[in-house]
Amino acid sequence: MNFSGANPKWLLVGFGLVIGSMVLSWVAAIVLGGFKFGSLERRVAHQIAREEYAAFWERMCQRLLQLGFTSGPQQGIFLQGGSEFGNMSSFTHAKTKKELRATAYDNGAGVTVELSLRYLDPIVGDSGETAYRDNVLDFVSGNIAEMRVVPNRSFGAVNSFIGGSVACVSLVIMNLIGFQPILPAICMVAITYMVMAIIAIVAIRSKPGELTGLWLAIAGIGLGLLAIIGAVGLQARAAF
């Protein structure tokens, strides 16, 4: 079995399967997220009595600070988020870049405070970002007393499950069409997403209650192993 040579078709096929699995994972994330994507901006308005405005604004700023928002380039703009390189738990909602704008004006009968919140990193597949956005607006407005924890579905877990499934389906198709060598192409996609599954599991365990998808990641590892075992058996049979 020579896996190198002048025509490494297995390398091209394996790379194609890895990229194809990633594309399918994005599609799955969009579907699971209810086809919600983009900045997910929402605007709300609150009517405040003039004598209560100062207390409202002070409480809002305190709660924004509590959530990790910092003052932006202009008054009334607050920023939150920014993934930390190397931090596997950094992909929770609070780490995603977002902007909250607060404006106030006298409406004659009192003060109107308008709040808008949008994600600066475009969301591809809502994994809980909409719920987090709504909770932030409710919390800083005083509608709820405490910020609720919003579970975030791990994209790595979804990706590993899709990748493992693609590896198993590809194994069957390759065997039916007589593609050789099967083993290196299957190993390429299976191992890639098994490693991703392990990273996802570590991240999920580090953020219990905030990250979900543990069983998807475990299933991804199982599917990847199944595909590799099947490929080894078929490759060995082809060698005789």
Please provide the average confidence, as pLDDT, over all residues in the chain. 87
State how far Cα 191 lies from the chain centre.
21
Q: Which domain holds residue 185?
A: 9-32+154-239
Shared-domain flag, residues 127 and 170:
no
Global pTM reads: 0.74
The answer to whether residue 103 scores a pLDDT higher than 90 is yes
Ranges of beta strands (E only) in 18-137 are 37-38, 42-48, 70-71, 77-80, 98-106, 111-119, 123-124
Q: In the prediction, which pLDDT does 89 show?
A: 35
Shared-domain flag, residues 195 and 104:
no
Boundary (domain end) residue, out of 107, 122, 150: 150
Q: In the prediction, which pLDDT does 85 show?
A: 34
The mean pLDDT of 56-65, rounded to a whole number, is: 94
Inside any domain, residue 1: no
Q: pLDDT tens, 196-226?
A: 999 999 989 988 778 889 999 999 999 999 9
Segment (H or E) for 212: strand 211-212
Shared-domain flag, residues 52 and 138:
yes
Q: pLDDT tens, 16-34?
A: 999 999 999 888 888 887 7
Q: In the prediction, which pLDDT does 86 show?
A: 38
Q: pLDDT tens, 66-97?
A: 998 999 889 999 999 864 433 333 336 777 89
The mean pLDDT of 166-193, rounded to a whole number, is: 92
Percent of the chain predicted with pLDDT > 70: 92
Shared-domain flag, residues 143 and 197:
no
Lowest mean pLDDT: which of 28-32, 110-114, 117-121? 28-32
Shared-domain flag, residues 26 and 80:
no
Let me know: does 109 contact 92? Beta carbons within 8 Å. no
